[in-house]
Amino acid sequence: MSAPLPPLTVIPPALQTLADYERLAQLHMAPDIWAHVQSGAGAGLTLANNRGSFDRIALLPRVLADLRGGHTRRTLFGRDHAAPILFAPIAYQRIAHSDGELACVRAATAMGVGMVVSTLSSVSLEAIAAAGRDAARDLGTTPAPLWFQLYLQETRADSAELVTRAEQAGYEAIVVTVDAAVKRATFALPRGVFAANLPSGSDRRQTSTPRGAILFGTPLAETAPTWEDVAWLRANTSLPLIIKGILAAEDAGLAIEHGADGIVISNHGGRTLDGAPAAIEVLPAIADTVAGAVPLLLDGGVRSGTDVVKALSLGAAAVLVGRPQMHGLAVAGLAGVAHVAHILRGETELAMAQLGCATLDQLGRDCVANTATRTVASPQHRHN
CA dihedral 261, 174, 270, 300 (to 10 degrees): 60
- Residues 271, 41: contact at Cβ < 8 Å? yes
Q: Which residues are catalytically annotated?
A: 268
Residues whose CB is less than 8 angstroms from the CB of residue 244 and which lie 6 or more positions away in sequence, other chains included: 89, 149, 175, 176, 177, 178, 179, 263, 264, 266, 299
User: In this structure, are strands 262-266 and 296-299 parallel, antiparallel, or unpaired?
Assistant: parallel
SS3 of 161-228: HHHHHHHHHCCCCEEEECCCCCCECCCCCCCCCCCCCCCCCCCHHHHCECCCCCCCCCHHHHCCCCHH
